[in-house]
Structure 1
Amino acid sequence: MSGRYAAGLPLDDGNLVVRARDALRLEAGAQHAPPVAIRLEKNLPIASGVGGGSSDAAAALNGLARLWKLDIDDRSLARIGLSLGADLPMCLKSQPLVARGIGDEVSPLTAFPALGLVLVNPGIAVSTPEVFKALSSRDNEALPPLPKRLDFHAVRNWLTATRNDLEGAARSIEPAIGEALKALKRADAAFARMSGSGATCFGLFETGNVAKRAAIAIRARHPDWFVAATRSMEVSDGEA
C-alpha cells in the first residue's frame, strides 16, 4: 500500500480490497483464482463518506474477474459486492446513477453533466454505524425524482429541494463538519452539503476551473484539511 492515507489501513481482512479478493476467490474456486499481488494507492481519507474503500473493493472485483478470466455476470458480481457493503453495487457500475433500496437497486442515468466539485474533509473520520445510531428518525419521505433535463442549474435546484438525512446526526458527533460547509460557502460554492455519512462535504461550482480556484483558496486557509477539486462523470444520451 502507498499513498497519503495508507498508514491507517490494515493489511488483513479488515481491508475491503482483501475481503473482495477472498469473496471472489470463494465464488470462483481456488483453482480458478491463483495468487495475485495487489497494490493499493490510498489517496482519500479513511471513513470519510465518499465511498473510497468501496470503490477500491469494486475495482478489485472488476479487475480480478478479468485477470482470472472468470465466467461471471454483472448480477453475480453485484451480489458478491453487496455482501461486502451496501454501496458496492453502485461502485461496481462506476457511473452516474440513482440508487434505491439499501443501495442494491441501481438505475444508470442516460445523461448527466460534468459538474465542477470540491471535496473538503476537516481531517476527521466518522463511523457510519455511529451516525446511523444517532439518527432521530429513520422513516423519512422519499426524495423527489431528478428533473428530465439535467444541467448545472437543474442539478443545483434539485439538490436545494433535497436533503441528506444523515447530516444532522453526523454533525452532532463531529461539529467540524459545519466548519467544512462554511469553508465551501465562503469559497462561493453554488451549493454545499455533506457527502454520505460524513465527514467529507462537497461544493458545487459552475466550471472545473472555478472549482480549482476555490480548492486553492480553501487549502490556503486550512492546510491540514483534505481538499480536492474534481468533476462528475459526464454521460451523454445513448452512452449509458
Structure 2
Amino acid sequence: MVTDFETLRDSEIACAKINLALHVRRRRPDGFHDIETVFAFLDCGDILSVAEADSISLSINGLFSDGLSDSNNLVLDAAHLLADHANVAAGAHMHLEKRLPVASGIGGGSADAAATLRLLNRFWDVGLSLKALASLSEPLGADIPACVMSQTCRGEGIGQNLSPIGKVMLNGHYVLLANPLIPISTADVFRAWDGVDRGALAGEDAIEASIAGRNDLQKPAETIAPAIGDVLIRLDETTPVLARMSGSGATCFGIYETRELAIAAQAQITKELPKIWTMVGELK
C-alpha cells in the first residue's frame, strides 16, 4: 500500500490511529481532560479523493457510510477552513470511502479531516507544511493535529501538544484492529471514568513507557460495551507484543512482529468472534 503522501496527488489515506497508551490526568476548567498519550498510525484507513469542481462538496460510500452526512461533516469543515485560511477561490469535490467504523477510537472523522487538509493542501497548491496544517486544524478537534502528522508522537494537554518520536522499536510491526461493531460515545466514556489520576507515562522512552502503561478509558468503556473485554481476551491469546483498547473504544488492537502473525491472529479472532470487524496494517 502506498503511504507516501507526496506521490498521491488526487487521493489520500486517512490513516487509522491507535493510542499505545492513554493516561487521563485531570478534568480541566474548560471541561476537557488533560491526557498523556502516545499516538501511532497504520498505513491504512479511510480513503479521500478529490476532483475539480466549482464549489466544495462531498460524497460518501463504503462499508460504514450509512448515516453519515454529506453536508455536515468534518471533511467539509476542514476543506472550508483551509480555503478560508489560504484565500482559495477554487472548489473541490471530495469523495470519502468510509472503511473504518464510526465512533470507534481509531481516528475516524478526525483522520478524515486530517486527510482532507493534506490532500487539498496539495491539490490547491497551498504549500503549507504538515506542522502548519496541524496547527491550523486545532479548532476542529483534539485528535486532528496528531492525525494530520500521522506519525508516532507523544501527545499532552488535550492531545494537541505534540512531540514527534523518531525511529522506534515498533517500526515495521503489524497491527490487527478488532472492533465488536458497537459505536461508543467518547463523552459517555469520560462520564463513566472514575476521575482517579493514576499517574503519568513513566520513563524517558515513550514506547517502553507506553507498553508499561495503560488506557485509563478501557475499564469505563467496558462498562458500556462488555464485548470489549471479550475482544481483548481473544487478542491476548494470540500472544501479541501489546494488546489494548484504542482511545475511548470500542476498537482494540494487537501488535505483532510480522504480517504473517497479524494475519494468523486475524483468522483466529474472526473464527471465534464472527461478528467482529477487523483490519490489518503496518505501523508507519
TM range (shorter): 0.7 to 0.9
**TM-score, length of structure 2 as denominator length:** 0.73
> Does structure 1 residue 136 correspond to structure 2 residue 194?
yes
Aligned sequence identity (%): 39
Instruction: Show the counterpart of 1:7.
Output: 66
Note if contact 2:105-2:251 (Cα within 8 Å) is conserved in structure 1: yes
* Greater percentage in strand: 2
Deviation at 1:215, TM superposition (A): 0.4
| Separation of aligned partners in 2, 1:190 and 1:167 | 18
> 2:147 is matched with which residue: 61, 78, 91?
91
Instruction: Show the counterpart of 2:109.
Output: 53
Name structure 2 gaps, 5 residues minimum: 1-59
Matches within 5 A, 1:57-76: 57-70=113-126, 72-76=128-132
Name structure 1 gaps, 5 residues minimum: 149-154, 234-240
What is the CA deviation profile of residues 100-145 of structure 1, one whole-angstrom value per residue up to 9, with x for unaligned ones? 2212111222212222221110010010111111111163421113
Instruction: Show the counterpart of 1:18.
Output: 76
> Does structure 1 residue 185 correspond to structure 2 residue 241?
no
* Greater percentage in helix: 1
Moved more, 196-205 or 97-106: 97-106
> 2:279 is matched with which residue: 206, 220, 228?
228
What is the CA deviation profile of residues 179-209 of structure 1, one whole-angstrom value per residue up to 9, with x for unaligned ones? 1101212333343111011000011223221
Deviation at 1:222, TM superposition (A): 2.1
**TM-score, length of structure 1 as denominator length:** 0.85
| Separation of aligned partners in 1, 2:151 and 2:102 | 22
Could you say what secondary structure the match of 1:181 adopts?
Answer: helix
> 1:118 is matched with which residue: 162, 166, 176?
176
Instruction: Show the counterpart of 1:208.
Output: 259
What is the CA deviation profile of residues 136-194 of structure 1, one whole-angstrom value per residue up to 9, with x for unaligned ones? 1163421113538xxxxxx5x64442011111111111111111101212333343111
Moved more, 139-148 or 200-209: 139-148
> 2:185 is matched with which residue: 127, 133, 146?
127
Number of paired residues?
A: 223
Moved more, 3-12 or 41-50: 3-12
| Separation of aligned partners in 2, 1:55 and 1:221 | 30
- Root-mean-square deviation over aligned CA pairs: 1.9
Could you say what secondary structure the match of 2:267 adopts?
Answer: helix
> 1:198 is matched with which residue: 241, 249, 262?
249
Note if contact 1:33-1:68 (Cα within 8 Å) is conserved in structure 2: no
Q: 1:230 to 1:74 in 2, by over 3 A?
A: closer
